[in-house]
Structure 1
Amino acid sequence: MTDTTTAPVTVIGLGLMGRALAAAFLRAGHPTTVWNRTTSKAAELVAGGARLATTPGAALAASPLTIICLTDYTAVRDLLGASDVELSGSTVINLTSGDSAQARETARWAEQRGARYLDGAIMAVPPAIGTPDAVILHSGPRPDFEPHEATLAALGTVTHLGADHGLASLYDAAGLAMMWSVLNAWLLGTAMLRTAGVDAVTYAPFARMMAAGVADWLPGYAEQVDAGSFPAEVSALETDARAMTHLIEQSEALGVNAELPRLFKEIADRAIAAGHGGEQYPVLIEEFGRPAPG
C-alpha cells in the first residue's frame, strides 16, 4: 500500500501558482515531478529536488496523482489530448480557473478517456500555499479524492465539496462575489470618511467590526432563504430602502461616487414593487436568483 504522506505527485503548469504548489509538495517530502512548456520556470524547483519531465505524457506517467494549473480549460484539454498522453488509469486534479460548465464538460471529456478526474479551485494567493490559510476546494467522485487526501494536505486546508464536478468553480465564484462586494463597500466608506479627514487606517478597524457583525447574521438569514420565508424579525426591506436613500444622498452631497448604493436601491425597489417591502432583507434572493432586467 502506498504511503500517502510521501506519495509521488506531478505538477503540470509552472506559473506563480503552479510553482507554489510544487514547492509545497517538495517541502512536505513528496517526490515531485514537474513539467512546463517553458522549462526555465522549473529551474528553482529542480534545484530543490524536483524531477523535470521531458513531455506531458512522461509527467503524467511519473506519479499516481497529477495536479494541473494552466491558463484556461482549453489549454488543459489541448495538453491532455496530445497524442503522447495516456490518460487511462491516471488521477488528474485540475486547479485551473474556469466556470462550472467547463468543469463538468472537462470531467466528461477526461473520464471518457479513462481518467479519474477531480476539479478544484484555489482560494489563496501563491505565498499562502502550504499553510492552513490556503483553502483548496475539490469536487468530483469522493472515491477518487480520498486516496490522495493526505497528499493534498501539503497544499493547505483541503475540502471536498461533493460529487458534482462544477461545485468547486461555483464556490470559487461565490467567494469572489463576497470578496469584491466587501472590498467595494469598504472602499466606498473609506472615500466618504476621507472627505472628513479620516484616513483608511483609522476607518479599517470599524469596517472590520461591521463586516464581522454582518457575517454573524448569515446563518439565520440562510435559514430564511432555504425555507423561502422572510419574516421581518429585525427590519423590513422598505425600512432598509429608506436607509439606502440616505446613503445615496450622503454620497452625492460629499461628491463621492454613488453608483454602488444606487445599485443596492435599484434591486431593493424591484423587490418592493413585487410586494416584498414588509419582508426581511434576504427576500432579495428572489432578485439575485434571476437575470437582471434587460
Structure 2
Amino acid sequence: MHQTCSPLVDELMFQIEQFVPDSIELDAARNLTRLCSDVMSCFGKTNCLEAQRNKETYTQKCQKLDFKNYGMHKCMPYFYKMAYNQENSCASKYDFFTNDLKTKRIAFTSGKQCLLEIVSVKCSKKTMAYLNDYYDNFVNILTTPPNNTRCTSAYDGLTSIQCMPILKKTSEIFTTTEDYSALNGLSAVKLCESARDCMKNSCVYSLKTVQNMDSACINFRKATFQQCYYSILTSTEDYSKYKCVKDIIAKNKTAKFTDDKACMKSVMTGECSNVSAEGFDAEWDNRSNFGQPL
C-alpha cells in the first residue's frame, strides 16, 4: 500500500518545496490541499497499521500546511482577541473559549457567521477562502485531539492561541498596582483561574508553568479576600442595607455581623467584586492566618 501511495507523497513533497507559505497564491494553496486530500485518502483505503500511521502523519502535516498557506496562524490570534474583548457584539452569544470539545464544536458550528464577520475585517482573502471552503474541516481540527502526544499539531497550536488574550488580561492584573476590579464580567481571581485552566488544557505550556500559575491564582485569591475582609472589618460604613446585618443587630445591638460567616459572605461578595462565593469557605476558615491587614 505504501508503494501505491508513494507517487502522491512524492508529488506533494515536491509541490510543497515550490512555495513559501506567506507568499503562496490561492490557487496553489488549493492545489496543495487537494493533493493532501488524495494522499490521506490513499492511505485510508487500508486498515493496516503502517497505512493508518502514515495517514495520521500526513493528516497532521497537511493541517499545519493549510494553516500556514491560508494564513490561519495569523488570523486566529486576531479572532480570539476580538472575541474575548467582545469588540463584536455577536461574540458574546457563543462559547468560543470553552475547553469542553463538544461545547466548542457546537459554538463554532452555530457561530460560523459570527466568526466570519469578525475575521473579515482583518484576515486575508486566502484565509477567508479557506474558512468558506473548508469550514467543517476547520471545526474538526479545532475539536479533535491528535492520537499522538508530540504537541506539534494544528490542534495543539489552536489550543495555545485560545489562551493568548486571557493570559494578556491576567498579566495586566498581576502588573497593576491599582485595586483589582472586575474585567469582562469576571473577577480578577476568576480570570486568573480561567487562564490557568486554559494553559492546563494546552500541551504547549509545561507542567511547571501551569503549577506556577496555579500557585499565583491561589495567592491572588487569598490576597483579594484578605484585602476585602480587612476593608470591611475596619470600615465605619453602615452595612445595614444587607438584610443579614439588620437581622443580627435587631437581635443583639452589641453583636458583630463580621463574626457571622453567612452574613460576611453576603456582604463581602456584595461589596468586593473580586470575592466570589466559590472558595469563600476555605478562605474564611483560614482568616486566622492572615496576619496584619494589607
> TM-score, normalised to structure 2's length?
0.29
TM-score (norm 1): 0.29
Q: Which has more helix, going by share of residues?
A: 2
Larger Rg: 2
Structure with the larger strand share = 1
